[in-house]
Amino acid sequence: MPPSALELDFGPVERDPHQPLAAGAVLLGGFALQDAVALLAGLKAVVAISPFRHMVTPGGWPMSVSMSNCGAAGWVTDRRGYRYDPDDPETARPWPAMPLVFSTLAARAAEAAGFAGFVPDACLINRYEPGARLTLHQDRNERDFAHPIVSVSLGLPATFLWGGASRSERPRRIPLVHGDVVVWGGPARMTFHGVDTMKDGAHPLTGAIRFNLTFRRAN
């Protein structure tokens, strides 16, 4: 098909919506765009109950990314280590329920990537301000690595760092923008990954903030 006049003048109207990154990893460009306003409303309701906080690593350093959770289990770190906890240690109450728009979107994205029947029980909500970053790590606190992880990017763009099976492999740099969803499963599930230092910017829906929702099956 020849490119339209619009594409010739302004470039592609949208990116390829279903972009395989590697075996087990699929970028669904813009998959969450239609739900972005509802997702941000759900996020606001969650953090009214369990506010964002800078958790402390086992080494004693506060993370530059602030975090909250919703769902039956929430990911936490403190001096004792990394784990999933049914309760928010700050409120001593259960984490807020996962909004239906969250769980529905995660299940639809997983199915589109070939993981039908994904039922997340945990959603970690990451909040990035300019200057925040997430160093290379693996997600290994979940009980069964056969389940994928679904990630939803909202607000400011970021550069996702995608390493290999070992920390020493030099990571690929993958731009993630508002509305992008990535599904990581199978052979991609245990790869090292992180987020490069956030640049300043302004997004019409979030201002100078990037949010990332990661949906997991913790238990």
Please choose, out of 8-16, 96-104, 133-141, 176-184, the segment that lies near Fe ion by the rule CB under 5 A. 133-141
Return the residue nearest Fe ion (CB atom): 139
Work out the angle at residue 53's Cα, subtended by the Cα atoms of residues 57 and 51, and round it to the nearest 5 degrees: 150
Least distance (Å) between residue 56 CB and ligand MD3: 16
Among 76, 107, 109, 124, the residue binding ligand MD3 under the rule CB under 6 A is 124
CA-CA distance, 215 to 217, in Å (whole number)?
Answer: 7
Does 134 contact ligand MD3 by CB under 6 A?
A: yes
Least distance (Å) between residue 108 CB and ligand MD3: 17
Residue 182 touches which of Fe ion, ligand MD3, none (Cβ within 5-8 Å per kind): ligand MD3
Among 35, 88, 121, 139, the residue binding Fe ion under the rule CB under 5 A is 139
Among 212, 215, 217, 218, the residue binding ligand MD3 under the rule CB under 6 A is 212
Q: Which residues pair with 26 in a beta bridge?
A: 20, 183
Among 151, 155, 156, 180, the residue binding ligand MD3 under the rule CB under 6 A is 151
Return the residue nearest ligand MD3 (CB atom): 212
- Whole-angstrom CA distances from 96 to 24, 67, 90, 92, 135 are 30, 13, 13, 12, 27
CA-CA distance, 177 to 191, in Å (whole number)?
Answer: 21
Residue 191 touches which of ligand MD3, Fe ion, none (Cβ within 5-8 Å per kind): ligand MD3
Residue (66 or 126) nearer to ligand MD3, CB? 126
Among residues 179, 157, 182, 151, the alpha carbon closest in space to that of 20 is found at 182
Please choose, out of 3-11, 43-51, 117-125, 132-140, the segment that lies near Fe ion by the rule CB under 5 A. 132-140
Is 122 in contact with 186 (CB distance < 8 Å)?
Answer: no
Please count the CA atoms within 13 angstroms of the CA of 193 that sit on its side-chain side.
Answer: 16
Q: What are phi and psi of 216, to 5 degrees?
A: -130, 160
Per CB under 5 A, contacts with Fe ion among 19-38 are none
- Contacting residues for 196 by C-beta, under 8 A, at least 6 apart: 133, 158, 159, 160, 161, 173
Q: What are phi and psi of 186, to 5 degrees?
A: 50, -130
Residue (103 or 212) nearer to ligand MD3, CB? 212
Least distance (Å) between residue 91 CB and ligand MD3: 21
Per CB under 6 A, contacts with ligand MD3 among 186-205 are 188-189, 191, 193, 195
